[in-house]
Structure 1
């Protein structure tokens, strides 16, 4: 991408002005939900259902990557009425995943710089009281998790593109004292390289997402060695082989890295993973395949069920067969798990966090926030925002709502690409974006819990 310096006043106006959340705004459904960035603003709601899926190739496959511009002076994301957003830090090389330590420190994966940053914010403020580099010399770090779960973790786990390592940790550490211990070695790192990690609530299982090595398994081969029938009887449901073996999967391990097993398959690129506090269920946000048209297939957020198969590369969103693999796996028809929340195609969801803080309005409790990095394979731009997934009694309704928008300047240029989202100890929402390397803090009312 190219960074453009200097912006016209009209472009700045698009970023800094927008309608606030509109009470009683109708939910957009069907084709009306397939909008572009111009329709985005806090409060816009969408509900996409499996039956809304179009046929492949209704539109041509677009190559429409965004130009990356400098953040206009004074520009900030737009949030709903009653909320405020403040800049925490800027000028970071590549801020990706952000996770809050139990003591409130914010750990940020600075992936291209191969390091983990830490920010300790002043009480009730977006201003860092302290900041430090926790660890360096990593390999495109992304996922971060604290172990054991609870108030007194003893380790910080980091998912590199090619391994999972851990650092000894004491409450309040701003810098790792020792060298990293490798827990999971030799993870294939080509193509999709973002590895996220999470622990089960009881601390007995480490989950690791490993994205596919291609768009749609072009080089996998028609059958595995020994034949498809033998493979299907011995491998997990929907497991891939050859260069894709162990990819497009969520894997599970003991916390020490032993006892590797497959947890779920067919998740093309689960870039963000978390455990829902209310239910203990594992959730993924998934980047689906490209080159089938502007609105095919939908991206999604979903619970990840043990032994579940989510379709890739043969199917998507249920029994919709990929035209590039027609007739290859009829044995898998009827066995594909349909995701819980469908998002606009090519939005690129990268991270998810559930809100159980105490400082947002009560109806936010139990909902989830998802960061959408933004499209390239769509003729009209979509994504480039943070959305709120609506839940009722711990279950997703399927509806989602624009929460933080304003990162797009024009049809050609954007200044921000959301990546990370987490809930701070004080109940604020923390966002990262890697277009201009910024971190933001969202609060409601006076910003204090």
Structure 2
């Protein structure tokens, strides 16, 4: 990789910073674009008041056709950044997490296995790679325990369970069988179970997505009546086929003393802990069928005891017309998410940047992988965006960081899923359309 020194390096750094600041901030309807307008540096700020009424447009079924990656195709990045291919041809690379020693652990969900890559120094070339564990059930979330430099276990979230493997620094293959920590998780539906540990290692967080779009089959009232249910269960807990779903759960590290931490999160498909504050964050895929721009997707802190709306409300006290009048008691109790993103973008994972390779202004911001729309007339998503933070708090603004995955109105070659910060400060990105993993670096290193 070429390193630019002296005045040339300073010029590149200033150009990168100016590039971001020169872009106009898109707000309101102007922020509801599509892939044709996406490019690194495009800035958006979406607020709850920008919500349109449901059904202003018809609900589209517009899934992306998957095309082969052209030989020269690479992620499109801001000036000063470069993308290198780590691996390709993987069945279904999803979540990627970085071990304390720098190894990359990747959930290959369709292959029911966890892959591991050890990169050569300052390179995207794997020096070693292998299958850490197999015979899993749609693995997705990965977490190291205890948090810190010397984990003793690797936890993996399957579709229907959480298991763990004994681990010692540098292991490329599990030394023993999986130990089940949490069983009897509702399976199917939204199957992407993510996991994370609190900074003190005392709490295991587990996200369980809904079984349906908007609880279409849920009974009007639970057994025993609504009043009794509301008094005995956490705020906004669903019942029937959605019992135990659309929640973030909390356990002790051994899987005991499970409880519901937060409710109404339709599909919290990616979780992480913010280094600056210790707060748990998740990115959520909201519901379909209400039109091109309704409702917004979001990233949010997960507050203990909070209810985020699903299935009765969205983005505050906006009632879903398909459940009109069903839960008036909840209208004033819906927590509004922290960062709103364009509807149907399909956020799948989030990582805070705490590395040393990117320019200083990236420190403390977060990256979110947007898998891309299927329920929108013209495509959106299919990119990685940067959430802006100031003093540890989200500004609400997000910015296109990686684009270039869409081939045409009808086809894409890449669908971003996983994001993680490598030990050397590079950003690692997985996409599951062509099964590739990428290493993103700033050419001249940090400012």
TM-score normalised by the chain length of structure 2: 0.95
Please report how far the alpha carbon of residue 191 of structure 1 lies from its aligned counterpart in structure 2 after TM superposition: 1.0
Please report how far the alpha carbon of residue 38 of structure 1 lies from its aligned counterpart in structure 2 after TM superposition: 0.4
Q: Secondary structure at the match of 1:31?
A: helix
Aligned to 2:156: 158
Out of 63, 67, 71, the position equivalent to 1:73 is 71
Aligned to 2:14: none
Tell me, in whole angstroms, the C-alpha distance in 1 between the residues paired with 2:316 and 2:444: 45
Q: Does 1:323 pair with 2:324?
A: no
Aligned to 1:198: 196
Out of 128, 144, 147, the position equivalent to 1:146 is 144
Deviations 1:271-297 (A, max 9, x none): 000000100000000000000000000
Q: Does 1:282 pair with 2:280?
A: yes
After the TM superposition, which segments of 4 or more aligned residues of structure 1 sit over 6 Å from their partners?
none
Tell me, in whole angstroms, the C-alpha distance in 2 between the residues paired with 1:21 and 1:70: 31
Contact 1:21-1:41 at 8 Å conserved across structures: no
Out of 360, 368, 371, the position equivalent to 1:370 is 368
Please report how far the alpha carbon of residue 192 of structure 1 lies from its aligned counterpart in structure 2 after TM superposition: 0.3
Tell me, in whole angstroms, the C-alpha distance in 2 between the residues paired with 1:438 and 1:360: 22
Aligned to 1:4: none
Q: Secondary structure at the match of 2:165?
A: strand
Tell me, in whole angstroms, the C-alpha distance in 1 between the residues paired with 2:290 and 2:187: 25
Aligned to 2:397: 399
Please report how far the alpha carbon of residue 225 of structure 1 lies from its aligned counterpart in structure 2 after TM superposition: 0.3
Deviations 1:81-131 (A, max 9, x none): 001110000000000000000000000000000000000000000000000
Please report how far the alpha carbon of residue 22 of structure 1 lies from its aligned counterpart in structure 2 after TM superposition: 5.5
RMSD over aligned CA atoms reads 1.1
Aligned to 1:445: 443
Please report how far the alpha carbon of residue 221 of structure 1 lies from its aligned counterpart in structure 2 after TM superposition: 0.5
Q: Secondary structure at the match of 2:160?
A: coil
Could you list the runs of 5+ residues in structure 1 that have no partner in the other structure?
Answer: 1-19
Could you list the runs of 5+ residues in structure 2 that have no partner in the other structure?
Answer: 1-17
Tell me, in whole angstroms, the C-alpha distance in 1 between the residues paired with 2:22 and 2:296: 26
Aligned to 1:387: 385
Q: Secondary structure at the match of 2:22?
A: coil
Please report how far the alpha carbon of residue 447 of structure 1 lies from its aligned counterpart in structure 2 after TM superposition: 5.5
Tell me, in whole angstroms, the C-alpha distance in 2 between the residues paired with 1:87 and 1:64: 29
Aligned to 1:413: 411
Aligned to 1:353: 351
Q: Secondary structure at the match of 2:192?
A: coil
Q: How many residues align?
A: 430
Out of 125, 128, 131, the position equivalent to 2:126 is 128
Q: Secondary structure at the match of 2:322?
A: helix
Tell me, in whole angstroms, the C-alpha distance in 1 between the residues paired with 2:94 and 2:373: 17
Please report how far the alpha carbon of residue 243 of structure 1 lies from its aligned counterpart in structure 2 after TM superposition: 1.0
TM-score normalised by the chain length of structure 1: 0.95
Aligned to 1:229: 227
Aligned to 1:93: 91
Contact 1:100-1:423 at 8 Å conserved across structures: yes
Q: Secondary structure at the match of 1:360?
A: coil
Aligned to 1:433: 431
Tell me, in whole angstroms, the C-alpha distance in 1 between the residues paired with 2:383 and 2:108: 20
Q: Secondary structure at the match of 2:36?
A: helix
Contact 1:428-1:447 at 8 Å conserved across structures: no
